[in-house]
Structure 1
């Protein structure tokens, strides 16, 4: 005979046992604060969170002081920034933990799909859309290779979750791509024989091919960031006798962004179920430079960390100096924004008006 008073206690215990079992045994369960199941990031040094630390031949590393001086750990992590970058801040806004670099995960011997369920960051400093890397001596991870790595993650997700659940997981996740700046610089460094328009069309076409590969393997929601006013970085200004912006680089960036937008519109009309948000980082960055005080900046030409003119004669290295107030600087080093600038840019990506984020912002994109 079972005592009646035992039944409520039994069911109370039964309910909470399975509640907590589910909560802690399913790491990809969406919490109340979580906006998307996961984020998968592709890009260059603007969103690299440490992949290049694992590249033996890479010269593009930031795993030394004074990088990371404002990061929560106060230590350099491989981020080209004084603190958190856009990848970190966007993950926070999505209610996700910090998205780890892929190479830190793939190097583990005891891999499991649980490590991929919050997302993966494939970004690499100095990465380009055009793949011209010697596979024997890779110093960065070009977009094509980053997508190759994603395909390996996709295979693990399908094996672990099953094809249907993996597709649902990925279709609701956010795929972010921040790349193109190094391709713009490369046009002038390589003395390309193609016209500027031919060059940007080639970059946009190559970008399109990789977006289609991601789509074919589950991606449906894309956040695409255009190239900024990279001719106005301290590094580029430092090469001009008048310390003004390099307008050749800026004009090429504008041409590329136009080609990119045209390509995205065409792609969206052909691929069923695809949605994207394009962020016009060029215009917003131009606003920073033209109206700095409106955004809390007092210095938009010189780097915070470096040496010499505009603090751009040298990268941010352990022996260089750095400013005490990083929040009023647009640039941390010769080419990369401060955490303060990243925060404003991410807010525009998420909540920006149609003037800067179209055909919709990321907040509306993830709600689809």
Structure 2
């Protein structure tokens, strides 16, 4: 896809770029110029709506029942998701779906449509390309990064090389991915025969590192990494146990990956000392929701709000499904995804996070890092 217009002529180019950069100055309350989001259904804001044969979509009721428009948007939630709340904290509009922007893109645009960021996140996506096979279609991380390279080219064409570099370097790169890789490992006897859990999560971390280096080559400097939650405690996993207990092997693999991710990030920082990052310990945060729900206003931690059957986890959240009258009571909206309430509390905790939830700095501190 070609997204460029002709370069600004040399005579007037400097002043055009200068005026654009003035216009790009962060508005009051805006902490960074832009947020670029990479990930899976936890932060998908509608990309999968544009994938014609994908089985992983949320563009139907009862999704979106508590969204401001009261309509499904492609978010796997009753309302807003973590990407929305993070954008609000940053003083930015929610990064729009990349596939939505390019479907309406025109080379006659006087400015780039990607100035405040864009989301490449896709339901069913994983670090490994193969995680989308059972869902027919999604945008794996490698493809998301390729899309970013096209966005970077577009920013260079509109802002100039120096202007784009400064703009991107001050922006946040949010990475929320890995759940589908762990679920894929859990559900595949072949994968478990090929790799021990430690080997598998090490491959996940090293593959992610390769993609981060690609982003760094194109001016990414500030990263937010969201660790895996206790995946074994989501309704789909609890439903596999007669007592509805959390699936401990899945949880152990989540913890194992988080440790591999942290080790990889420390090594990457030593290699690329101009990067800064914030690691968000969602495992501890969600575990606290599950173990002490009343402290956060929850009354139901096992069952999904929307679905049918045991724990509302036999049938997914479809138009034929039932949904709970008070979504604020539930940690989980459907088989896998948190409610709007859980997502809001999570972002509240990690944005101004204590060392219990963020390392080596919280998101607010990361946004303030000067580059």
TM-score (norm 1): 0.91
1:172 alignment partner, one of 156, 170, 173: 170
Q: What's the counterpart of residue 97 of structure 2?
A: 101
CA displacement at 1:354 relative to structure 2: 1.1
Q: Secondary structure at the match of 2:37?
A: strand
CA distance in 2, matches of 1:161, 1:60: 36
Q: Secondary structure at the match of 1:277?
A: strand
- Report if the CA contact (8 A) 2:131-2:184 is conserved: no
Q: Which has the larger radius of gyration?
A: 1
Q: Which runs of 4+ in 1 moved over 6 A?
A: none
- The alignment of Structure 1 onto Structure 2 pairs a total of residues equal to 345
2:155 is aligned to 157
TM-aligned CA deviation for residue 109 of structure 1: 4.2
| 1:238-257 paired onto structure 2 within 5 Å | 238-257=239-258
CA contact (8 A) 1:101 1:120 kept: yes
Unaligned 5+ runs, structure 1 = 1-21
Note the 1:205-354 alignment, pairs <5 A.
205-354=206-355
Instruction: List per-residue Cα deviations over 1:207-254 (Å, max 9, x = no partner).
Output: 101111111101100000000011000111111122111111001111
Deviations 1:123-175, CA, capped at 9 Å, x for gaps: 0001000112689x961111110000000000110111001010100011011
Q: Quick one: which of 76, 88, 96 aligns to 2:84? A: 88
Alignment match, 1:15: none
Change (3 A) 1:134 1:175: closer
2:241 counterpart SS class: coil
- Aligned 8 A contact 1:204 1:260 in 2: yes
Distance of 1:75 and 1:30 partners within structure 2: 31
Q: Is the 8 A contact 2:124 2:132 kept in 1?
A: no
Distance 1:325 1:290 in 2: 20
Instruction: Tell me which residue corresponds to 2:3.
Output: none
Alignment of 1:20-31 (within 5 A): 28-31=24-27
Mapped partners of 1:138, 1:28: distance in 2: 39
Residues 65 and 75 of structure 1 are in contact (CA less than 8 Å); yes or no, is this contact kept in structure 2? yes
Q: TM-score, normalised by structure 2?
A: 0.90
Any idea what SS the aligned residue of 1:140 has? Answer: coil
Q: Secondary structure at the match of 1:120?
A: strand
Asked if 1:57 corresponds to 2:58, the answer is no
**The 10-residue stretch of structure 1 (105-114 or 276-285) with the greater mean CA deviation from structure 2:** 105-114
Check whether the contact 2:300–2:331 (CA below 8 A) recurs between aligned residues. yes
Contact kept? 1:28, 1:114, Cα under 8 Å: no
Once the two structures are superposed, residues 251-277 of structure 1 have per-residue CA deviations (whole angstroms, 9 ceiling, x without a partner) of: 111110000000000001110310000
**Cross-structure match for 2:181:** 183
CA distance in 1, matches of 2:206, 2:113: 32
